[in-house]
A and B are shown apart, each in its own frame.
Chain A
């Protein structure tokens, strides 16, 4: 379904002229470039909403920053992931992504209609599709251009492309169209990243996001006049066209992607947070929720700037996807994020706020610190999940940071653990996004586990040190492409400790962390018996005076009968004789208890742990264990009985997949179990009783 070649060329020429004409007047955001500006785009795009088509013309200026000549260029054509059911994306996703699937006619694609050099040489015939990841020859998401002559180091090549893109319907995997709502992400031919002497240009996969070089974007978007447009960067001008369309001119500097949205049904809400202007594009039917979107964005901007450093752009656009377009929701682009339509969601359930805060966080960890999401997704998603847990806890309090509704309080950390423990040992964190066992495991290893890993690290180092680590990470690596090793290096440098042992296990292995207290005992110390412990009665005459005294003090006992009672753990009090009672009490006070605690390492992950022992007299003893052996026994002799032992008493080690077995008490907790019984009994009674009252009041549940 290629656009006719002649028409393409004419549109292409017209588009190029338009770009040249409007090239002047663009604002300058940063007098000094903040990034290497390797891939720079001028794009003119026209929306044909009825046909779901984008007609585009692109001028790409790409600079070879390698120390050697480049023979070929590689481009992402992401929209071809939606071209048919045989693309790698569709094969991997089974046609469903985050619960969304395309309508029967909803396929999308991108066609290059023409590709010429700056001098006008036709180069389209020099292209072919390649499949560097899986060899699926039916996948057309990576295009290779063999250059007629190599591009020397430091030189810039200019390419002119005309393209036609059909957006999928409804939006899927962050891009597409639904009725009048357009969310254009990954919509234009985008050059890959040339690094380490090779192209890093992966196919479009179901479980991966993106990777690109920084540059300057000038994008003119032509849409029907009644459409409201939001996009990456700043809109510096608009032009009314005679054909009832309007062209919005956007300029973005030092970004590595460009997305835009358009709809006639947006309501625009404006806000400000510190030095950042926020523009929320809210669906009309979500108008009453608009303030929540804006407020969450304002909190996010202020919090991230305060915690990690300056967000250098002057603006942020928050997009509320249309009903039926959930596939466009929960996504990040430079200076533009998409939220999640959640009409009617009570304020105590913070999913709406969480999504906005999370997506804004990506502007730090995916956009400014531009890690490779294909190969090391955790560097973005994991660090961002950690930030998400922090901001939610700081804003709403830890206990109910995610849900605080009708007495139910669940923290974001608990939610992350819930997902993580379901399958913690199938994959390591570090591997290409498309190689995980499942989509769920990709999420678990890219979001949940790294988030918990960093929270564990923070609990180890303290929040102040962790903040310094992330600040250093952000300052040092913004506008660059760091790898996991760079992160570990920053952690080691800032903390002043070597955490290779931790990251080796957490990032590269499938080792699961699970320590438990498997056994505790506490017995009154046996009185000494035998040769060195003769009782006073029987041996007084036989032993020297000093030995007797020492034996008395040490044995603390004078008869075999009492020893036996003590062994059985029973009190030696005799109720009938008050004097014996007193003596018994004194003896009790002097008694020593020998307590033991067996701790076990149930998983392969080795982590030093603390063991806290609580005694009946209120005393607390804390011991340390390097956690290396399979098990370890702690023994203590104290004048009080051991009540409980807890590994990691402060719940610092959030990677531990089973917190319940971290503690053990000498006796069952009757209070806790009694309360649970009362609760379960009541819930069941209430449920059984319900059908008899198909009356109005059954709509209100009782407080459990």
Chain B
């Protein structure tokens, strides 16, 4: 079922190429709002120096240190902007997800009106779902505390540094697991909201818990598979990016293209996630 789901989601992704572009460009524009002023601060401090020239190779630690020391206040002023952009981008993605899920649920090509209409229609509901999911997230975040409990049970109040180190790694893994489960809950509640056109959040939440509980194996397998695709992308990206460090204009342009290609891939992966989850839930609900 999972391969069939992925295949069908991939078909939708390629049918909705314009959507893919919208996702990618949104990230690029939001990032540019932060990155360009930051670059301008560096440029005003060191633009006409050899230190800036050296930036065409590796990062210059001396420049970085001096930049924070001598232009700390200017860089600090960027922080609120960065926070606002982050929040804005997250909300935008939430906004887009309504339209995306709606388009993914169908089998027709991209229709702008349908997309924007669904974006607006579901945004309020999704925001409520997000707020309702936060207690679940808090609950799931107790999961890492289990590692502390086990540590205390076996090693008392004074565990060795080796125990603390390994339990720290396990806790980190559990935190990821908690986030993953929460993300699954959040994703599938939104999917059910679109599929069932249900407005009451409590009902949706219960339906999702029921659905997820019943099909947890498949849902989780799909999530892991998507994670593996993401990891594979990273494994391909990293070594090539590592090679593109020479200070020549051509190599810098190639690096930029490669970075953007990777971000384009991630935008596609985000859409693939939405699409495959929608297709999976459609299939499962049909069988169910």
Contacts and interface: CB of A to CB of B under 8 A. Distances in A.
Nearest to A672: B55
Interface in A541-588: none
Nearest to B243: A703
Given A676-B42, A692-B270, A421 B35 contact: no
Interface string B86-112: 100110010000000000000000000
Contacts of A668: 43, 47-48, 52
A658 interface: yes
B22 interface: no
A343 B65 contact: no
B9 interface: no
Interface string B36-62: 101100110111111111111011011
Contacts of A676: 39, 42, 52, 55
Interface stretch (A10-18, A93-101, A681-689): A681-689
A238 to B, nearest CB: 28
A695 B67 CA distance: 34
B151 interface: no
Contacts of B93: 692
A688 B91 CA distance: 11
A682 B161 contact: no
Contacts of B27: 685, 688-689
B41 to A, nearest CB: 10
B158 A418 contact: no
B224 interface: yes
A685 B30 CA distance: 8
Given A673-B47, A678-B252, A694-B183, A179 B158 contact: yes
B272 to A, nearest CB: 11
A114 interface: no
B137 to A, nearest CB: 10
A677 interface: yes
B227 interface: yes
A501 interface: no
Interface stretch (A220-228, A279-287, A502-510): A279-287
Contact of B160 (A284, A664, A667, A684): A284
Contacts of A691: 90
Contacts of B51: 659-660, 663
B31 A681 contact: yes
Given A285-B160, A702-B238, A697 B231 contact: yes
B89 to A, nearest CB: 5
Interface stretch (B121-129, B201-209, B261-269): B261-269
B113 interface: no
Contacts of A422: 69
Contacts of B252: 671, 674-675, 678
A483 interface: no
Contacts of A288: 162
Contact of B66 (A286, A658, A667): A658
B159 to A, nearest CB: 8
B165 interface: yes
B163 interface: yes
Main secondary structure of the interface of B (DSSP, over half): helix
A677 B28 CA distance: 12
A621 interface: no
A414 B61 contact: yes
Contacts of A409: 58, 61
A663 B55 contact: no
A411 B62 CA distance: 10
B226 A283 contact: no
B231 A696 contact: yes
Contact of B86 (A421, A663, A687, A704): A687
A703 B35 contact: no
Nearest to A410: B61
A596 to B, nearest CB: 15
Interface in A236-287: 283-287
A196 interface: no
Contacts of B172: 699
A549 to B, nearest CB: 41
A688 B237 contact: no
B50 A644 contact: yes
Contacts of A702: 234, 237-238, 241, 262
B85 interface: yes
A686 B251 CA distance: 21
Contacts of B38: 680
A426 to B, nearest CB: 15
A677 B282 CA distance: 43
A88 B56 CA distance: 52
A695 B230 contact: yes
B34 interface: yes
Contact of A694 (B53, B160, B161, B176): B176
B109 to A, nearest CB: 24
B162 A285 contact: yes
Interface string B110-151: 000000000000000000000000000000000000000000
A665 B48 contact: yes
A342 B67 CA distance: 30
Contacts of B47: 668-669, 673
Contacts of B1: none
A407 B242 contact: yes
Contacts of B234: 697, 700, 702
B153 interface: no
Contact of A696 (B46, B67, B161, B227): B227
B179 interface: yes
Contacts of A120: none
A645 to B, nearest CB: 9
A421 B69 CA distance: 8
B161 A341 contact: yes
Contacts of A284: 160
A681 B35 contact: yes
B15 interface: no
B72 to A, nearest CB: 10
B62 A414 contact: yes
B283 interface: no
A674 B40 CA distance: 11
A664 B161 contact: no
A678 B256 contact: yes
B157 to A, nearest CB: 11
Contacts of A590: none
Contact of A681 (B28, B49, B67): B28
B65 A414 contact: yes
Nearest to B27: A685
Contacts of B249: 671, 674
Contact of B53 (A669, A681, A684, A696): A669
A307 interface: no
Interface string A641-668: 0001010000000000011111111111
A148 interface: no
Contacts of B228: 696-697
B170 interface: no
19 contacts: A284-B160, A285-B162, A409-B58, A414-B61, A660-B46, A669-B49, A669-B55, A671-B53, A673-B47, A682-B260, A684-B31, A684-B34, A684-B85, A689-B266, A693-B270, A694-B183, A695-B223, A696-B230, A698-B176
Interface of B: 27-28, 30-32, 34-36, 38-39, 42-43, 45-56, 58-59, 61-63, 65-67, 69-70, 82, 85-86, 89-90, 93, 158, 160-165, 172, 176, 179-180, 182-183, 223-224, 226-228, 230-231, 233-234, 237-239, 241-242, 247-249, 252, 255-256, 259-260, 262-263, 266-267, 269-270, 273
Given A285-B161, A672-B56, A689-B27, 14 more contacts: A284-B160, A324-B158, A414-B62, A421-B69, A658-B66, A660-B63, A673-B52, A684-B31, A686-B263, A688-B86, A692-B270, A693-B269, A694-B183, A696-B180
Q: Report the 5 A-B pairs with minimum CB-CB distance, sorted nearest first.
A: A285-B160, A672-B55, A684-B31, A694-B179, A343-B161
Interface of A: 179, 283-288, 323-324, 341, 343-344, 407, 409-411, 414, 417-418, 421-422, 644, 646, 658-669, 671-689, 691-700, 702-704
